[in-house]
Amino acid sequence: MTDISKAYGLQSAIARAKINLTLHVGRIILDPHDKFMGYHPVDSLVVFADFGDEVALEASPVTRLTLQGPYSRDLSVSEDNLILRAVRCVQHAANMQESQFAFDLVKNLPVASGMGGGSADAAAALRLLEAYADLTEARWHDIAMHLGADVPVCRLSQTAHMTGIGEEVKPLEGLGQLEAVLVNPNIAVSTAQIFKNFDHNMPKDTPRPQKMTGSLLERTRDGRNDLQPIATDLCPEIGDVIERLSQQDKCQLTRMTGSGATCFAVFPDAGTAQAAAQNIAKACPDWWVKACKFGESA
């Protein structure tokens, strides 16, 4: 990946890829008196990979965002970009509209891939802006929630248990790391369409509770991703990815993350993960494949 801190001399942060090891989803909130109307309650075990997009910031005469990286072509710089929305929220909350910022984003993650790319980018921008704005933790959390349900957990960027609609984030310490391979068939899927189809199946009112004991792998095995069958119906290539991953030597578990189409597999060590990634990349050269680590180092 490009080392933008050296290239530009900027403050920088890694927007680590968000991985839902489990994702249990409840029925859409339809109560008009509920501030989260239109959202779905979730119960998810979340980890972060040891790589991601790269975000850099410096004070500037004007606020701007420049894009580079292998997936920058799939983005546009518009007022709806989450990084620029994050800046406007912080400027308003801290009464610092006169302060302007230049952001550079290296887009390494596929877009609309279920790895929280846009949310992680916005969360990284918020972390960088903390050096410029004196806000309470509660205010930072409110800004993160205003930007999106995944932004609070991405702002933490640590292994966590995520509940509510994403506003409740509990850090989980001491669970270590998993060796893994991430694969995306280079197909973007519509999160909105997946949730729409999910709602047609009349899910339970509340999501299945996440097991909160045992190792990271044991907790993962105990759960599932409720969106995976729906996403696979819309994008059959997800099933192809799961099958290809499950065929790799010593694969311990395979699953889709988020709303897809990225899937992951867990392996007992870095060597088997690297071998699996090489095998898949060779057999499927049009796919995005990455061997990595999930979680926190000891």
- CB-count exposure of residue 263 (10 Å: 0-12, 13-18, 19+): buried
CA distance 47 to 18: 6
Q: Are 180 and 59 in contact (CB under 8 A)?
A: no
Handedness of CA 74, 260, 176, 252 (dihedral sign): negative
Handedness of CA 105, 112, 224, 254 (dihedral sign): negative
CA distance 63 to 85: 11
Looking at residue 62, the DSSP 8-state letter turns out to be S
The one catalytic residue among 53, 121, 150, 226: 150
Handedness of CA 150, 153, 157, 161 (dihedral sign): negative
State yes or no: is 3 an active-site residue: no
SS (H, E, C) 216-246: HHHHHHHCCECCHHHHHHHCCHHHHHHHHHH
> 209: number of CA atoms within 13 Å, CB side?
3
State yes or no: is 18 an active-site residue: yes
The one catalytic residue among 18, 107, 290, 293: 18
CA distance 274 to 58: 36
Element (H, E) at 91: helix 82-93
The β-bridge partners of 288 are 184
Q: Catalytic residue numbers?
A: 18, 150
